[in-house]
Amino acid sequence: MSDRFSFALGATDGKARTGVISTPRGEIRTPAFMPVGTAATVKAMLPESVRATGADILLGNTYHLMLRPTAERIDRLGGLHRFMNWDRPILTDSGGFQVMSLAGLRKLTERGVTFKSHIDGSRHELTPERSMEIQRLLGSDIVMCFDECPALPADRTRIAESMRLSMRWAERSREAFGDRPGHALFGIQQGGLEEDLRAESAAALRGIGFDGYAVGGLAVGEGQAAMFGCLDFAPAQLPEDKPRYLMGVGKPDDIVGAVARGIDMMDCVLPSRSGRTGQVFTRHGVLNIKNARHQDDPRPLDEKCGCPACRNYSRAYLHHVFRSQEIISSMLLTWHNLYYCQELMQGMRDAIAAESFAAWQAAFHAARAEGDI
């Protein structure tokens, strides 16, 4: 444990790298996958279960928590860690992305965003200053700048204007964040798929100075090929000695491709959300437990998986409780998917440290090609 926030690079293999982020609330092994706890809970999981999957850090959600139960109430109750009984690091997003994807009646100005709550229709405002205050009240260890993520496809002019607005907001976020030892502020690179706009954004963020740098503006409908094309140049535009966080990614093959291109941290609702919809991640690809072909199958989901679902239950059972909409279905499938993702990260951390990442990546894709799920 340390009373400061720091990042130590470990091994590198090509563009892939391992490292350790030290925070007062514990260490984060990178590359890291961060499960999402939208309303102060990782759905269908106890915090100790989230930890048992191997997660070192989870995400809190500024947008949801500012609406309900409000950041002020969580602060009065001792902060988000106490509130949700998770004493390890928490990263919170700044809320702008969720406003643009969830809230109604949004109005975007230089000052910030006003919107109507999707819960009760009440009106709210988010600005860089208010977002920093909310994330401070929540007590999160890693705070994200308040930014604007343009929906793709968008023309270059729109992307450039949006990126420059986000860079002005990054300046205001830095100013409002202040000096908070042991807490980190991450800048968010924008610029769409344009290499020069991304370079301009990276330079602006470097000039302000952050504890970590996120690649934002991706996984917004551009598709994997375009995202990887952008990741072929964007991470290297960011400081090498600081963590690089790709926001909102992703499916297992997205995660692997991003690590191969120099990304250290990722978050996505997909593994937990998919668990609730019966989509199961396995080494051979995605299995849909709802399919009738599983109803007599005595085998585990994944014979090499050490999670409670795979150690103690058959596909037939998991098919039955999913079809019956039993609560245990969400519990077991979420646990399995989160455990699968953490095993994937551990496998990559080991392969990079052994300088055998290319072979690991080839085996990862070969197992998915051979099928047999």
Ligand X SMILES: Nc1nc2c(CCNCC3CCCCC3)c3[nH]c(NCCc4ccccc4)nc3cc2c(=O)[nH]1
When asked if residue 134 is in the footprint of ligand X (CB under 6 A), the reply is no
- Single residue of 159, 214, 230, 305 touching Zn ion by CB under 5 A: 305
Per CB under 5 A, the segment of 165-173, 277-285, 298-306, 322-330 that binds Zn ion is 298-306
By CB under 5 A, tell whether 261 contacts Zn ion: no
Q: How many CB atoms lie within 10 A of CB 314?
A: 17
Choose from Zn ion, ligand X, none: what does 305 bind? Cβ within 5-8 Å by kind.
Answer: Zn ion
Which long-range contacts (C-beta less than 8 Å, at least 24 apart) are formed by 197-203? 197/156, 197/159, 197/160, 197/163, 198/230, 198/233, 198/234, 198/237, 199/237, 200/163, 201/163, 201/166, 201/167, 202/234, 202/237, 202/238
The yes or no reply on residue 270 touching ligand X (CB under 6 A) is yes
Binding to ligand X by residue 275, rule CB under 6 A?
Answer: no
147 binds ligand X (CB under 6 A): yes
Is residue 38 a contact point for ligand X (CB under 6 A)?
Answer: yes
| Region near ligand X per CB under 6 A, out of 15-23, 267-275, 279-287, 337-345 | 267-275
Rounded CA separation 62/132 (Å): 10
CB of 267 to ligand X, least distance (A): 5
Helix (H, G, I), strand (E, B) or coil at 99: helix
- Given a contact cutoff of 8 angstroms between Cβ atoms, the answer to whether 71 and 65 are in contact is yes
170 binds ligand X (CB under 6 A): no
Selected catalytic residue, list 13, 56, 141, 267: 267
The residue to which tokens 């290297």 are assigned: 236
Which of 47, 128, 187, 217 is the binder for ligand X (CB under 6 A)?
A: 217
Q: Which of 32, 40, 113, 144 binds ligand X (CB under 6 A)?
A: 144
Pick what 307 binds: ligand X, Zn ion, none; C-beta below 5 to 8 Å, kind-dependent.
Zn ion
The per-residue b/e assignment along 15-25, b for 16 or more CB within 10 angstroms, e otherwise, is ebbbbebbbeb
Please tell me whether residue 231 adopts helix, strand or coil conformation. Answer: helix
Residues 310, 332, 333, 351: which binds Zn ion (CB under 5 A)? Answer: 310
Among residues 93, 147, 211, 264, the one annotated as catalytic is 93
Q: Is 93 among the catalytic positions?
A: yes
| Choices 61-69, 93-101, 285-293, 303-311 (CB under 5 A): range interacting with Zn ion | 303-311
Q: Which residues contact 24 (CB under 8 A, 6 or more apart)?
A: 1, 2, 3, 4, 5, 141, 182
How big is the CA angle at 339 (ends 336 and 342), to the nearest 5 degrees? 155
- Shortest distance (Å) from residue 2 CB to ligand X: 26
Other CB atoms within a 10 A radius of the CB of residue 295 amount to 12
69 preceded by cis ω (within 30°)? yes
Chain residues 39-78 in contact with ligand X, contact rule CB under 6 A: 59, 61
With CB under 5 A as the rule, give the number of residues binding Zn ion. Answer: 5
Binding to ligand X in span 173-192, by CB under 6 A: 188
Q: Distance (Å, rounded) from C-alpha 222 to C-alpha 132?
A: 29
- Using alpha carbons only, what angle is made at residue 69 by residues 68 and 70, rounded to the nearest 5 degrees? 85
- Picked from Zn ion, ligand X, none, the partner binding residue 211 (CB below 5 to 8 A depending on kind) is none
Nearest approach, Cβ of residue 313 and ligand X (Å):
26
Q: 336 contacts which partner out of ligand X, Zn ion, none, CB within 5 to 8 A by kind?
A: Zn ion
220 scored as a contact of ligand X (CB under 6 A): yes
Q: Among residue numbers 72 through 111, which ones bind ligand X (CB under 6 A)?
A: 93-94, 96-97
Amino acid code (one letter) for 57: I
Three-state DSSP at 282 gives strand
Q: Report if residue 307 touches Zn ion, rule: CB under 5 A.
A: yes
Q: What angle do CA 309, 313, 319 make, to 5 degrees?
A: 95
Q: Which is nearer to ligand X, 50 or 218 (CB)?
A: 218
Write the single-letter amino acid at 308.
Answer: P
- CA dist 244 and 18 (Å) reads 11
Is-catalytic flag, 3? Answer: no
| Active site amino acids | 93, 267
Binding stretches for Zn ion (CB under 5 A): 305, 307, 309-310, 336
Binding stretches for ligand X (CB under 6 A): 36, 38, 59, 61, 93-94, 96-97, 144, 147, 149, 188, 216-220, 247-248, 267-270
